[in-house]
Structure 1
Amino acid sequence: MATEHADAVLRRHAARNFWVNVGDGVSYIFGISMISRLTVMPLFVEKLGGNALVQGLLPTIYYIGWLMPSLFMAPVVASMARRKPYILFATIFERVVFLILGILLLSAPDLPHPTILVLFFILFTVYAFGSGFTSTAWQDFVARIIPKRRWGIFFGMQNGVGGIFGVASAWVATTLLRDMPFPQSVGVLALLCFVGQAISYGCLALSVEPPQDAQPRTPWREFMGGIMPLLRRDAAFRRYLFCRAAIALGFVGHNFLTAALLARFQVADAEIGVITGVLIGAQAVAHVLMGALADRWGHKQVLVLSTLLGMVTLVLAVVAPDASWYYLIFALMGAAQAGYTLSGFTLIFSFSTPALRPTYIGVANTALAPAAALGPLLAGAVAAVAGYELLFGVLTVIGVAGMLALQLWVRVPHVAELND
């Protein structure tokens, strides 16, 4: 009865849930684009004296924080009748850090650069783990309140419209990085990021999520003991995890494109803002197109296409004769990241029933953690010793191997098969 009542409530509020959660994503992207992890943050670290190894800490900390908590949270999330109250609490930690960072950079801009760098990475770690402790509940929350047939268009609109606002954020970033002294410029961007995330929080709070049947809390040791049998039983999911790990290693190269640009060519700070706009604009268009394509063609094929674009990006970075090529490089990276983000985790939903979805999300995210977290550290070491060109070449080979294996080796089950 509880499930039938919940389904009726969700049908009644389907339009509201769709649009307020699009608003959540749009305003979140508007905020986070002010201080992009792929462009502005690498510039910030570089100007504070960070070398390639320190640059590698950005993706390493981010992916450890975002992915590792998922496995611990899976049995907790499965036992919740409602996900929303927990999400509204946990997500505070990933948002408030930008308020603190902005106040720090504006009130104490003359601190020694190593001190600012250490404080930044402490705050960035809180942000990453705040995201990680929220992610499993949020992914399952969205899968619950948004009908499956609209997942593609939902994520496409959320990220596509968000990308349009993100272009405006990039214009603001360009202006501030050009006209304000460092690091105050980044401080203002951090405060604007917090404003966007506060609006996002308000939209999220407007979602309607009725209580649904919850599973009894599984003891963590018992839950962990069931993971290997699950992987042995579900060969398609197991193969997908291997392929996604290889693809994730290939995409590690994207985290070093800004550093490679700064190392090879003389580029002004404001130019990073322009490139951020190109990146986010490409993501906006690609999210809408790939969301619609995923609903018709399937998320597996979108992930294959995105991987191909992502690896072409790395090849172009190796052969680029001047900085102007990086506009095309970052446009392709934006399209690749859009499809990878959209279909990389949405595809996980296709392997599981609703009851097992938190477990599948937790296992998938945690299985990705070693490649996504340790890969950037190893990549940073390779770049420091042998240069970015060799690094991009090696990562391209790994990413293409994962793409081919996904296309030829992984079969995504149909809904009827999951219900058998």
Structure 2
Amino acid sequence: MEKNIEETSTTAEGETVVVHADPEGKTLAEREAEYETFVWANLKRNYIAHYLHGMLGMTGFRLVNAPTFLPAYLFAISGSSFIVGLGLALQQVGGVLSPIFGATQIEHRKRVMPAAVWMGGLARVQIVGMALAGWFLSGQPLIVAILSFMFLFGLFMGTQRVVFSILMAKVIPISRRGRLQAWRNATGGLIAAGLAWVAGKYFVEADLFGNGYATTFMFAAILTSLGLWALQFLMIEPEPPTTRAQTPFRERLKDFPRLISQDRGFMFFMIVQMLAITGRMATPFYILYAASTIELTGANIGLLSLAFLGADTLANLAWGYLGDKTGFRLVLISSLVVWISATVLLMNVHEVAAIFVAFFGLGAAQSGYMMSAQTMILEFGSRDDLPMRIAFSSTAEGIMASAGPLVGGVMAAALGYESVFGTSIAFLAAGLTMLLLFVREPRTTRAAG
């Protein structure tokens, strides 16, 4: 339990916050100014820390989360589209409630880096588990093990998303977040794209160390661990003048209606997120659909992974700078348009080069969606409610993302991949329409207020 608590107070929005004691007797306004000065004074070091974490850490996660290696591996060991959908659904189920739990564990803390190390470390352990299962198990036990590790991976990724978003919000000013994500995602995407091609051609196709997929997962775990280490040892975390009062988990759940009702823009943004995430139901089947028109060799898996992940290199630079300049609403609109267009293209082409272009578009669109969604959520509401706002967003996304792949797997098995893609397009189009009509740029709204 943290000490030096001076008093609690209630804001105009009904939030109970803790004002931490100051031995020098400075006013809250003076301490807020000092907090802001600290952020800018340490920006260079913290920028480098988050850059390295994103470049190395997210490189490994891209190899695991790309709609190529893990879906292809699940299909290879099970021969079932339903199992592929089930695996992705379990991964998302793991992330449904864990963000809320994670938020209640950190929102009252002045420092959250220790929690970030634990939660991030546990997520990385699951990737190691996938690799070890691939090397030492086979048949039904292997399928069960991979599905279990995918569920646990989603569980800890849900809490990790909250804590790392809070860390970035604490030390990176709004006007610098887009370019930071642009460069870390671009360089990380470049590395991931190259590694994806290498992994497909030299790990998977050559069956390196007896299981090329397991080798790929272990390599990803090493990269993500290096990124976490860089963040832990380089970042200097400030202590905010105020935090949320510690609240029991069940009591905190009752605050959800207030979080929604006090900001209609946030409410509609949440709906857009849920629609877009439902549209991701088709993601694990992109590579399986491609296999119906081209031979799914290790080299082709690597090539399409290169297209999907390589899109990060170019698209993220454009998304990041565009977001810093205009706000991320325009990035979100653009990414949804590209996403729909790339899906339509994939459904209507049958050559490797054209499928490569479609996968590039899908990668660019989903990177734009992730960047805009994760950055816009930081700009609604107050700082002290940020952990729970992120958690609520992650949980809402997780609910839809859990059902999407499972429903998609059933649809793919019963009706074919075209039905899955068509349904995905419908949800994306609905999200785009609601975004255009009901969600204003939160940065502009905040400035006007």
TM over 0.5: yes
Percent identical: 23
Q: Pick from 414, 417, 436 the counterpart of residue 407 of structure 1.
A: 436
1:129 aligns with 2:155: yes
Paired residue for 1:176?
203
What is the identity, as a one-letter code, of the residue corresponding to 1:372? A
Alignment of 1:248-327 (within 5 A): 248-327=277-356
- The alpha carbon displacement at 1:98 in A equals 2.6
- The alpha carbon displacement at 1:281 in A equals 1.0
Paired residue for 1:239?
268
Alignment gaps of 5+ in structure 1: none
SS of residue matched to 1:332: helix
SS of residue matched to 1:214: strand
Paired residue for 1:200?
227
CA contact (8 A) 2:327 2:441 kept: no
What is the identity, as a one-letter code, of the residue corresponding to 2:387? P
Q: Distance in 2 between matches of 1:419 and 1:298?
A: 14
Alignment of 1:16-27 (within 5 A): 16-27=45-56
The root-mean-square deviation of aligned C-alpha atoms, in Å, is 2.0
Alignment of 1:28-67 (within 5 A): 28-67=57-96
- The alpha carbon displacement at 1:358 in A equals 1.3
Q: Pick from 321, 338, 362 the counterpart of residue 333 of structure 1.
A: 362
1:374 aligns with 2:396: no
Q: Distance in 2 between matches of 1:418 and 1:293?
A: 18
CA contact (8 A) 2:158 2:394 kept: no
Q: Distance in 2 between matches of 1:138 and 1:83?
A: 9
SS of residue matched to 2:203: helix
Alignment of 1:89-238 (within 5 A): 89-106=118-135, 108=136, 111-174=137-200, 175-180=202-207, 184-205=211-232, 206-212=234-240, 213-238=242-267
CA contact (8 A) 2:82 2:406 kept: yes
- The alpha carbon displacement at 1:85 in A equals 0.9
What is the identity, as a one-letter code, of the residue corresponding to 2:134? L
For each residue in 1:311-368, what CA deviation from the matched residue of structure 2 results, as whole angstroms up to 9, or x when unmatched? 1122122212344421011100111011011001211122122122112112212222
Q: Report which stretch shifted further, 63-72 or 190-199.
A: 63-72
CA contact (8 A) 1:353 1:419 kept: no
CA contact (8 A) 1:35 1:186 kept: no
Q: Distance in 2 between matches of 1:345 and 1:313?
A: 22
SS of residue matched to 1:91: helix
Against the structure 1 CA distance between its residues 349 and 176, is the aligned structure 2 distance closer, same or farther, given a 3 Å change threshold? same
Q: Distance in 1 between matches of 2:272 and 2:33?
A: 38
Paired residue for 2:11?
none
Against the structure 1 CA distance between its residues 223 and 104, is the aligned structure 2 distance closer, same or farther, given a 3 Å change threshold? closer
What is the identity, as a one-letter code, of the residue corresponding to 1:307? L
SS of residue matched to 2:246: coil
Q: Report which stretch shifted further, 210-219 or 240-249.
A: 210-219
CA contact (8 A) 1:30 1:169 kept: no
Structure 1 or 2: more helix by fraction: 1
Give the TM-score normalised by structure 1: 0.93
Alignment gaps of 5+ in structure 2: 1-25
